[in-house]
Amino acid sequence: MAIRTGISLGSNLGNRLANLREARDMLLRLNPTEASFKQSSIYQTDPVGCPPNSPDFYNAVIEIDYIGTPHDLLSSVQGIEWHLGRIPTAERNAPRKIDLDILYFGDTVMDEDVLTLPHPRLTDRRFVLNPLADISPQLILPGDVSTVSEHLRKLDTDEPEPSLIQSMW
């Protein structure tokens, strides 16, 4: 049975738009044939929690159907990052060609060393909430009571508003 799954995409090195498109296309290959998917607009955002002078990010969110376990999806997502040239580094939040995060996996709630669902910082990040609100504003995450749009409206952060880069990509 397919599970609706949200994945955030970010890039702040190289051709950011091309990086997001290639990652999206690879993620869509995980989507069962004929299954629908949703994709947000792409936004330019300030780097959050990154080293000084890090370039701005392009961010988006897609929602796909996925058949498999959360760990299977994590393995696929990490494989896509590696294939697209993400280089492991000890520096936290270093600039990167591609960054993919599983935001939610249906109604799954889990807290493990390698994977926490829903993503633990999802509702604290404008650069995730903004694009997620594009595609699923009324989504209530497992274990939560507020919608994505309510979280975005109540967000208390110093993050500036993201800039719309492209709606259709």
pLDDT for 32: 84
The residue ranking higher by pLDDT, 24 or 92, is: 24
Q: Which of 46-55, 67-76, 95-104 has the lowest mean pLDDT?
A: 46-55
pLDDT digits (tens, 9 = 90+) for 133-146: 999 999 999 999 99
Q: What is the mean pLDDT of residues 58-81?
A: 97
8 A C-beta contact, residue 26 and residue 80 = yes
Of the residues 86, 125, 126, 134, which is catalytic?
Answer: 86
pLDDT for 64: 97
Q: Is 86 a catalytic residue?
A: yes
Given pLDDT bands bounded at 50, 70 and 90, which one contains residue 93?
confident
Q: What is the domain range of residue 60? A: 3-166
Dihedral angle computed from the Cα positions of residues 55, 52, 43 and 118, in that order, rounded to the nearest 10 degrees:
130
pLDDT for 50: 87
Longest CA–CA span in the chain (Å) reads: 44
CA 148 – CA 137 distance, rounded (Å): 5
Dihedral angle computed from the Cα positions of residues 130, 58, 108 and 118, in that order, rounded to the nearest 10 degrees:
-70
Indicate if the pLDDT at residue 89 is higher than 90.
no
* 116-117 vs 163-166, strand pairing mode: unpaired
Of the residues 4, 99, 125, 126, which is catalytic?
Answer: 99
The CA R_g of the chain, rounded to the nearest whole Å, is: 15
Q: Is 126 a catalytic residue?
A: no
Structure tokens at 47: 């780097």
Q: Is 121 a catalytic residue?
A: no
Residue 144 — φ and ψ, nearest 5°? -115, 170
CA 3 – CA 20 distance, rounded (Å): 22
Adjacent-strand bridge partners of 110: 117
How many independent structural domains does the chain possess?
Answer: 1
pLDDT for 88: 76
pLDDT for 67: 95
Q: Is 16 a catalytic residue?
A: no
Residue 66, domain CATH: 3.30.70.560
Helix axes 70-83, 16-28, angle to 10 degrees: 140
Specify the pTM: 0.94
- CA dihedral (141, 143, 147, 153) positive or negative: negative
pLDDT digits (tens, 9 = 90+) for 22-46: 999 999 999 888 888 999 999 999 9
pLDDT digits (tens, 9 = 90+) for 99-156: 999 999 999 999 999 999 999 999 999 999 999 999 999 999 999 999 999 999 999 9
Of the residues 46, 101, 124, 144, which is catalytic?
Answer: 101
pLDDT for 150: 98
Of the residues 96, 125, 126, 134, which is catalytic?
Answer: 96
The rounded percent of the chain whose pLDDT value lies above 90 is: 84
Residues in the chain: 169
- Residue for token pair 């947000």: 40
